[in-house]
Amino acid sequence: MSKCAYKYKAWDKYARRIITHQELYFASPKDFNDVFDCQAHGIMSNNQFAENPFIIIDGKIIPYPNPSALLDKATKRGIDTCGVCCFSRAYNSILMWSHYADYNRGICFRFDLDKIKINGLFANVTYVRNKPIYDYTDPNEDKSKWFFYKYSAWKYEREIRGVVFSLENVKREQYRKVKFPKEALKEIIFGTNYTDKSTYDEVIDLCHDYGFHNVKFSFMEATTSSESYKLIKNPLFVKHQ
């Protein structure tokens, strides 16, 4: 059974590379709009850190008065050991179209994540009110707490994220670019504010030129016939289908 996921994008040079290079970019969480992404709250349950914590700088032992602050600072290293690519489980999120797809002028890619192989994993994000606790002294601690937990205010994103792990490689730009097979891209959806036919044609022609012959095309429409705030997806019939 396929794992369906949607990626909202403005139509720019980075979105074009998804088609022209069959490439997904796994960014550093340092570049995200959530300053707490990929962080946990560190503890040491066996009290190793109890009495007089210290750090060593330039060979000198310096007392550190706040063990909790030191551990919290250390947990930020999760940001430096991973690359993250974000998707959503929803294609009709009013907020996602507004926030991540150029105010409904962008597009949304639908992927089958089961067809994309990465040096890591894809998983749903869990939304919580407090930072997950990471116990440094427990060898069986679940390390996914670093990467797949977010503050509950982001729940509307319904995020699925891919995370690649490598302390050495993710610091090098080329290792953040992950190739995917053509059959992994299933659909491209245009936003409700896409009124320029030339942009439709550019996206569709690129897919045709780069061998994405089985991609479906759709467009979102803001409903006017209901009391509800809804975006409805309709098929787009194109010449290259």
Task: Check residue 81 and give its pLDDT.
Answer: 75
pLDDT at 45 over 80: no
pLDDT at 208 over 80: yes
Question: Within a 10 A sphere around the Cβ of 52, how many other Cβ atoms?
Answer: 9
pLDDT 10s digits, 100-129: 999 999 999 999 999 999 988 999 999 999
pLDDT at 204 over 90: yes
pLDDT 10s digits, 171-201: 777 788 999 999 999 999 999 987 677 888 9
pLDDT at 85 over 70: yes
Question: Within a 10 A sphere around the Cβ of 91, how many other Cβ atoms?
Answer: 20
pLDDT at 44 over 70: yes
Task: Check residue 70 and give its pLDDT.
Answer: 61
Least confident of 10-19, 67-76, 159-168: 67-76
Cβ partners under 8 Å of residue 208, min gap 6 = 240
Q: Which residue has the tokens 């139509």?
A: 11
